[in-house]
């Protein structure tokens, strides 16, 4: 019996380690921005907008398979390939846009995490004001920087596995406690978009948090770092499938938690901290604490990749594997963490910062997809692995979908 148990746990460990790139994508995607979008959607429309979430996860699966396959075939990463095949301006545009977006995004994510921490800890402090965001920013930043100091991709994957596990357990348990009628979930798969401008903005926000260009770019860096080739194509597809499924399950659980508590009362939320304040009377302190634990895990699982991204993207542009232990990369990561102090010190609205970040990424994503679509149809680049007619139609549909969502998002943000 002992041998069988060891064999089972050994196989389970190998399975988790083989899902390294997928864990990165899940950790990055299901952050406070995603929680905010899903909570707002569930509170305002119940489960009516399940279908765009499902659709965006399907399209995300298609794209991460295509981008991953490109690296398996060529051994090259995305931004470096864009620089090589389309010229330095193309590579620099994608590099600068993504680094800027992620730097702004990390500021918003940390601000929301610290605000949720402050709200949650109010009863624990004598003054009733909770932990000051400056102190919690420094604390979370120190923890993340210490974890990054190790500098090994396998270690990062294990850290993300812990964060994702805590996040998944918290959100799923909260959903079970306050789950709406299952019929609402099924109806949401086939319902249309409510005829309101706010609904289109929420749809665009949901899609933006799921289909950001950076996950496809970074995925190629992670695959190259693992040394995968065409012999690991089956692992790449399995990894992509698990990523898309888990993203859908965790996102729908947050939406359902809001739909089961706030939607029946007609209460709307604009961000994660609103949901923390409003959820307790309907779900109870225990469910609230579990949900807050999920938000914190989501925030940290998103911040951890955020502060790794600049070194990864720069290494991608240069065509080399990232060295997280180099002095330069450690200073870059430290700089991203220190940027997170801007909101606690200077003030500002974290949600607006997150919207700004998503607006920029929305304009970059279609460009990134178009360039990869061109490369995957060049025989001199990928040989016999060019996309089939069916695959081109799938990627083309995904491109149109992302472009339409980008337009909806920009219209909603600027009130057009």
pLDDT at 306: 78
- d(CA 371, CA 90) in angstroms, rounded, equals 9
Q: Are 160 and 305 in contact (CB under 8 A)?
A: yes
pLDDT at 220: 85
Q: Are 76 and 291 in contact (CB under 8 A)?
A: no
Q: What is the DSSP letter of 322?
A: -
* Residue 189, both tokens: 């798969």
Query: Residue 10 class from Cβ within 10 Å (0-12 exposed, 13-18 middle, 19+ buried)?
Result: exposed
pLDDT at 352: 58
- d(CA 111, CA 156) in angstroms, rounded, equals 23
C-alpha closest to that of 163 among 29, 53, 64, 274: 29
pLDDT at 2: 46
pLDDT at 366: 86
pLDDT at 161: 72
pLDDT at 349: 61
pLDDT at 201: 64
Q: Can you list the domains of the chain with their CATH numbers?
A: 22-413 (1.20.1740.10)
180: left (phi over 0), alpha (psi -120 to 50) or beta: beta
Q: What is the pLDDT along the chain (416 residues), one digit of tens a residue?
A: 444 444 555 554 545 555 556 666 777 777 666 777 777 777 777 777 788 888 888 888 899 889 989 999 998 999 999 999 999 999 999 998 888 877 777 887 788 788 888 877 887 787 888 888 888 888 888 888 888 876 676 677 677 777 777 777 777 777 666 665 566 555 555 555 565 555 666 676 677 667 777 888 888 888 887 788 888 888 888 888 888 888 888 888 878 877 777 777 777 766 666 666 656 655 566 666 777 777 777 777 778 777 888 888 998 999 888 887 888 888 888 888 888 887 777 766 655 555 556 656 667 888 899 999 999 999 999 989 999 999 999 999 988 888 877 776 666 556 55
- d(CA 398, CA 31) in angstroms, rounded, equals 23
Please give the span between the terminal C-alpha atoms of the chain, in angstroms, as a whole number. 66
* Residue 66, both tokens: 């295509």
């Amino acid at each position: 019996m002992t041998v069988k148990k060891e064999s089972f746990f050994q196989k389970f460990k190998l399975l988790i380690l083989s899902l390294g790139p997928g864990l990165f994508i899940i950790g990055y995607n299901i952050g406070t921005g995603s929680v905010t979008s899903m909570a707002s959607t569930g509170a305002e429309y119940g489960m009516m907008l399940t279908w765009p979430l499902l659709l965006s996860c399907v399209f995300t699966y298609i794209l991460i398979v295509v981008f991953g396959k490109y690296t398996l075939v060529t051994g090259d990463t995305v931004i470096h390939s864009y620089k090589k095949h389309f010229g330095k301006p193309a590579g620099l545009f994608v590099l600068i846009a993504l680094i800027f977006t992620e730097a702004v995004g990390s500021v918003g994510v940390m601000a929301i995490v610290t605000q949720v921490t402050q709200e949650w800890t109010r009863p624990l402090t004598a003054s009733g004001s909770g932990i000051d965001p400056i102190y919690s920013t420094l604390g979370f930043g120190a923890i993340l920087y210490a974890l990054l100091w190790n500098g090994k991709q396998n270690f990062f994957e294990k850290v993300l596995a812990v964060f994702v596990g805590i996040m998944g357990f918290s959100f799923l348990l909260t959903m079970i406690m306050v789950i709406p009628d299952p019929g609402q979930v099924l109806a949401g798969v086939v319902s249309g978009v409510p005829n309101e401008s706010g609904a289109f903005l929420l749809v665009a926000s949901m899609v933006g948090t799921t289909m950001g260009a950076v996950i496809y770019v970074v995925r190629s860096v992670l695959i190259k770092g693992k040394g995968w080739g065409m012999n690991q194509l089956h692992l790449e597809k399995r990894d992509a499938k698990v990523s898309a499924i888990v993203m859908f399950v965790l996102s729908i659980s947050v939406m359902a938690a809001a739909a089961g508590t706030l939607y029946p009362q007609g209460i709307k939320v604009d961000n994660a901290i609103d949901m923390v304040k409003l959820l307790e009377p309907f779900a109870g302190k225990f469910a609230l604490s579990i949900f807050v634990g999920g938000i914190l895990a989501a925030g940290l699982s998103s911040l951890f990749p955020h502060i790794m991204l600049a070194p990864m993207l720069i290494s991608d542009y240069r065509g080399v594997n990232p060295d997280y232990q180099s002095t330069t990369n450690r200073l870059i990561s430290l700089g991203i963490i220190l940027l997170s102090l801007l909101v606690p010190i200077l003030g500002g609205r974290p949600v607006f910062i997150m919207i700004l970040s998503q607006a920029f990424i929305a304009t970059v994503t279609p460009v990134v997809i178009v360039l990869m679509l061109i490369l995957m149809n060049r025989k001199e680049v990928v040989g016999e692995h060019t996309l089939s007619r069916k695959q081109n139609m799938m990627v083309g549909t995904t491109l149109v979908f992302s472009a339409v969502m980008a337009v909806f998002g920009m219209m909603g943000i600027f009130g057009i």
